[in-house]
Amino acid sequence: MDVNNHEFSWKYTRLHGAPLGRDNGVRRLPVGLRLLARQGVYAECGDWPDARRVHISGARTRYRMHFDEVVRLLRQGRPVMGGFRFCGPFESLGPNGIYHFQRRRGDVYPPLRHMVLFVGYGRRGGRPYLIFQNSSGRRFGEDGYGRIWFQEVRDFTTFTVRKHYRNRTLRRRPGPSA
């Protein structure tokens, strides 16, 4: 499932009164989950002929999950989100890069946290990683997608997509290759 990040960010700003990233002291996850449950956002999925408004229900957050469990959920088409620490190098992640948090002199302390939607998985050199859609849109990474080593991720959140409404057709865009 590929959510419309622009719509989500706009609705988040309206709901909370401050844009993502400028909402100091806010626990973004509960605000974002409430937005997705009550208002929904447009999303695309390979099984749908066009974009549809989706809502969520049954959100559950766990600090850690096993890689095989995340893979099983993604194969079933279930959405999985996760959080991780980040610093400057994250924003310049190249198309084939895999993000790893590494504190550098001059970085913000404590490190910032970020949540993303996972859309795929893979292994490189035997190490597992997850492919994610970033909320920065298409200008990030590889057309809006990136990779992160699995061991970096915390606060996994799963939920059920509960409503699909037919709506206007949006141009589909491919995800990254694993």
Would you state the pLDDT for residue 26? 62
* Topology (CATH) of 2-166: Cathepsin B; Chain A (3.90.70)
| Per-residue tokens: 171 | 């141009």
The whole model's pTM is what?
0.74
Q: Where are the domains of the chain?
A: 2-166
pLDDT in tens, the chain (178 residues): 677 777 888 888 888 788 877 766 667 788 888 888 998 888 887 777 888 888 889 899 999 999 999 999 999 988 899 988 776 666 667 778 887 777 666 665 555 677 888 999 999 999 999 998 876 667 677 777 889 999 999 889 999 887 655 544 444 444 555 5
Place of tokens 């390979």: 46
